[in-house]
A and B are shown apart, each in its own frame.
Chain A
Amino acid sequence: MRIALVGNQNSGKTTLFNLLTGTNQKIGNWPGVTIERKLGVIRGTDFEIVDLPGVYSLSPYSIEEELSRNFLFEENVDLILNIVDSTSMERSLYLTTQLLELGIPMIIALNMSDIADKRGIHIDLKTLEERLDTTIVSISALKKTNVFNLIQYIKRGDYRKNYYHHIYDHELEDAIVLLKNSTKSQHPKFLAIKLIEEDPTFLQYHNDETKKIVDDLSKRYLRDMEQVVADERYRYIENIRDEAVTARHDQMTWTDRLDDVFLHRFFAIPIFMVIMFGIYYLAAGPVGGFTVQLVGRYMAIFSNWTRELLVDFGASSWSVSLVVDGMIAGVGAIMNFLPQLIILFLLISLLETTGYMSRIAFFLDRIFQKVGLSGKSLIPFIIGSGCSVPAIMSARTINDETEKRMTIMLTPFIPCSAKLPIITLFAGYFFKGNAGLVSASLYFFAIAIIFLSAFIMKKFWFKGKHSSFILELPDYKIPNVKFVVFDVFEKVKAFIQQAGSIILLASIAVWFLISFSWSLHYGINPELSILSSLGKVLAWIFYPMLGTSSWGAAVSAVQGLVAKEQIIASMAIIAGYSDTTSEGVLIFGSSIFGFFTPASAYAFMVFNLFSAPCFGAIGAMHKELGTTKKMWQAVLFQTGLAWILAVLVYQIGHIIEVIL
C-alpha cells in the first residue's frame, strides 16, 4: 500500500512522517522546509509513505507545490493521509475538500490539537467526521499523542470510505456530472473541476464537448469561474466551521507579544543585526578562535606522535611524509575548525526552529523588494551560512523566476561553513584583537555585495517587473532539543565525512604534486615540484590582490572548487613542506606564505568568499537554474566579481598600510 502525506506548509507533515517511519528528516518552523518528496515505511508495517512538499491548494504556485499535485494526480496512491492544522481549520479544509475530489480514500490527522486547545479552539470531531464523511484522528505530532491510534487505523483499514458531498450549487454540480461523463480519467471529479476552472495545466484534457459545457456554464455565471469555484468551496467550509468549530476571539497570544518586540518599528532591524552579529562573533570570534587553537595543539601532538611511531616501525621516509605531511596535515587543518562549526550549526538551527526566520523575511522584504529580490530570498541566505547546496535548493519556494534566479546566483556569496575556516584562520592571525569583528565584517560585506549586485542585475540585466510576496507567518515555537541536536549532528557528520573522503583524497593529491618533480624525482625542493609549476601558471591572476606572485596561494585558491576548506588543507601542506616547522597553525610563519599582510589577507578572504563555489554548489546551481549556460553565467559572474572586489580591497588596503 502506498500512502501520501499531504497538508499545508508548516503543518507538521515531516514531524509526523518522522514519527511514523522512525526516521529523522529535517524539520523547521517556516513554510517550505520540505522541497522534495521523501519515501519511508511506516514502522511495523510494509506500507510505503510519501512525504510531499506542503501545498495550500491543488493549483500550484511554485515548483515544489507542482511536484505534490503531479504526484497525487498521476501516480497510484492508495490512501491520502491529510494532515490538518487545527489552529487554521478553514484554510486547511480548503485543501481537504480538493483532496476529497480526487476520489482517493483518505484519513485526516488533526494536528496541533494541543495548541488549539490552549487557544480555546474547540473542534467537534464527531460533527466534522460526519460532514466530511472521513475518519479523523486528533493528534499532536510534536507531543506524539495519539499517533499510535493513527497507525492502528491505517493498519486495520477501518476508516470511513469518504463519499462525495455536494459542495457547490446545483448548476455547478450538474456541470460536473456532465463533464465526468465526457472525459476519461482516474480522478474524474477532480478533472471536471479543473476544466471548469480552466486550469492551464489541464487544457489538454479539453474536448469539444467539455468546452461547450464550460462555455455554457460561464455564460450563466457572468463571473470568472475560478473565483466562483473558490467562493463556493469556502462557503461550504464556512458552514462546516459554524457547525463544528468554536473559537474564542481576539486574544493576545505569546506570538503577538514577542512580535511587538521583534517586529518593532524602530528596534526590529537593530535586533536582527545584533542577532546575526552575535552568531558570527560567537562562531568566528573569541569563542570559536579559542577552540581552534585548542584542537590545533592536540593535532600537532598527534602529528608528531604518528611521525615517531612510523619512524620507529622503520617506515620509508616518503611513506611517513605521505601520512604526516599529506594526510594528517591536510585533514587535520580542517578538523581544527570542527568545534567552531558546531557552534555555528547550533545557532542556525535555533534560528530555523523558533520561527524567527519568517519574521526576518517579513521585515526585510521591503529592502529586498527595492533591489529586485523577494523577502523569501532571505531563507536561502540564512541556510547558506551553513551550506550553499541546501540553500540553493530552498530557493524553489520563490515563485517568481527572476527573483529565484538572482537568489540562486547570489546565495553562494554568503560565507558558508566551509569558508568559515578560511575566515577564522586569516582573521585570527592578521587581526588578532579584532578577529570576531573582522569575521562579522565579512558577513555584512557579503550582504552589502548581495544587495548591490541584485540592484545592478535588476537595472541592467533582468528588467524590473512587479512581483508579489505571499508568506504565512508561523507562531513562535520553543525549539525541540532532540531535533536541534539531531540537525547539528547530521551536519557535523557530513563535514567529517567530507574531510575523510574528498579532503583526504585531495590532500594526497597535493602531497604527490608537491613531493615530485615532472621527472618524478622524490625529495626535491618544493619550488621545483609539479604543484609549483602549475601554480606559477596561475599566479599572475592573483598578483593584483596579493601584491606578489605566489604559486602557493594561487594553487590553493583553485582547490576551493573541490571544497572551500581544501584551501586551508592545501596551504597547510605547502607550508609544512617549505619549512621544517610542522607545528599546527604556523602557515603564515612559513617562508612561502610569509608575504601576507593584513591588506592581502583580507583581499584573499574576499576572493575566496565570492568566487565560484565548490563543485557541489555549482552542481546545485546547475540543477536549479535548469541550463548549463545559466550555470556558466553564474560561475563567471561570481568569479569575475570576486576578482574585482579582491583587487579593490588590496589596492585600497595597501595604500592605507603604506600611509600608516
Chain B
Amino acid sequence: MKIRAIRYHAGEKTKLSNLRKGQKAKVVFLNTEDKALRRRLLDMGITEGVHIKIRKIAPLGDPIDIEVRGYELCLRKFDMSMIDVEVIS
C-alpha cells in the first residue's frame, strides 16, 4: 500500500496520480511509453500545458475522473502516474 498522506501545493511538481479531489494542475510532460496510449491521450486533449482538474474518484480509489478541456474523462491511476504535472491549486 502506498502512503497518500502528502498533499502537494501550488507550484510543486508531481505526478497527476498524486493529486487529490478538487486539485488543479498543468500538464508538464507525458512519460507514457505505450505509443498507442500516448497518441490517445493526446487526442483526448491531454497535451503539454493543458489544465486538468480532479473531479471524481471511484469508490475503490481507482480509476479517477478528471476534467480536461471542458469535459470529463476517466483514467486509471497507473496511466496517470506517467503524466508529470505542476500543481496550480
Contacts and interface: CB of A to CB of B under 8 A. Distances in A.
Interface of A: 56-57, 59, 61, 87-91, 94, 226-227, 230-231, 234, 247, 259, 263-266, 268-269, 362-363, 365-367, 369, 375, 399, 466, 468-473
Contacts of B44: 56, 91, 470
A55 to B, nearest CB: 9
B63 A230 contact: no
A56 B40 CA distance: 9
Contacts of B65: 362, 473
19 contacts: A56-B40, A59-B39, A59-B43, A88-B70, A88-B71, A91-B70, A227-B38, A230-B42, A268-B58, A362-B65, A365-B63, A365-B76, A367-B60, A375-B63, A468-B79, A469-B79, A470-B74, A472-B74, A473-B74
B73 A227 contact: no
A469 B30 CA distance: 17
Nearest to B78: A466
Of A263, A363, A468, chain B has the most CB atoms within 10 Å of the CB of A468
Nearest to A264: B59
A286 B37 CA distance: 48
B36 interface: yes
Of A366, A470, A473, chain B has the most CB atoms within 10 Å of the CB of A470
B72 interface: yes
B47 A234 contact: yes
Interface in B54-89: 56, 58-63, 65, 69-76, 78-79
Interface of B: 30, 34, 36-45, 47-50, 56, 58-63, 65, 69-76, 78-79
Given A57-B43, A59-B43, A365-B58, A468 B37 contact: yes
B3 to A, nearest CB: 19
A11 to B, nearest CB: 11
Given A230-B42, A234-B47, 6 more contacts: A88-B70, A363-B60, A366-B58, A369-B76, A375-B74, A469-B79
Contact of B47 (A230, A268, A369, A472): A230
Given A226-B42, A234-B45, A259-B56, A469 B76 contact: yes
Contacts of A473: 56, 65, 72-74
A194 to B, nearest CB: 12
B62 to A, nearest CB: 5
B70 A263 contact: no
Contact of A263 (B43, B45, B59): B59
Contact of A87 (B71, B76, B78): B71
A363 B58 CA distance: 5
B76 A227 contact: no
Nearest to B32: A468
Nearest to A272: B59
Contacts of B38: 226-227
Contacts of B43: 56-57, 59, 61, 94, 230
A466 B77 CA distance: 12
B74 A87 contact: no
Given A90-B70, A365-B58, A367-B60, A226 B45 contact: no
B77 to A, nearest CB: 9
B70 A89 contact: yes
Contacts of A247: 70
Contacts of B56: 259, 263, 473
Contact of B58 (A230, A362, A470): A362
Q: Which 6 residue pairs spanning A and B have beta carbons closest together?
A: A88-B71, A366-B60, A57-B43, A230-B42, A90-B69, A268-B59
B76 A468 contact: yes
Nearest to A472: B73
B70 A87 contact: yes
Contact of A61 (B40, B47, B73): B40
A269 B70 contact: no
Contacts of A470: 40-41, 44, 73-75, 79
A660 B67 CA distance: 58
A59 B36 CA distance: 9
B71 A91 contact: yes
A231 B76 CA distance: 23
Of B38, B42, B50, B78, chain A has the most CB atoms within 10 Å of the CB of B42
Nearest to A469: B76
Contact of B69 (A88, A231, A265): A88
Contacts of A268: 58-59
Given A56-B43, A230-B42, A234-B45, A366 B74 contact: no
Contacts of A263: 56, 58-59
Nearest to B39: A59
Contacts of A87: 70-71
Contacts of B40: 56, 59, 61, 470
A61 B35 CA distance: 11
A228 to B, nearest CB: 10
A226 B63 CA distance: 26
Contacts of A366: 58, 60-63
Contacts of A469: 63, 74-76, 79
B11 to A, nearest CB: 21
Given A226-B42, A263-B56, A366-B58, A471 B70 contact: no
Contacts of B79: 468-470
Contacts of A89: 70
B72 A472 contact: yes
Given A56-B43, A234-B47, A468-B79, A362 B63 contact: yes
Given A227-B47, A365-B58, A366-B63, A471 B74 contact: yes
Nearest to B65: A473
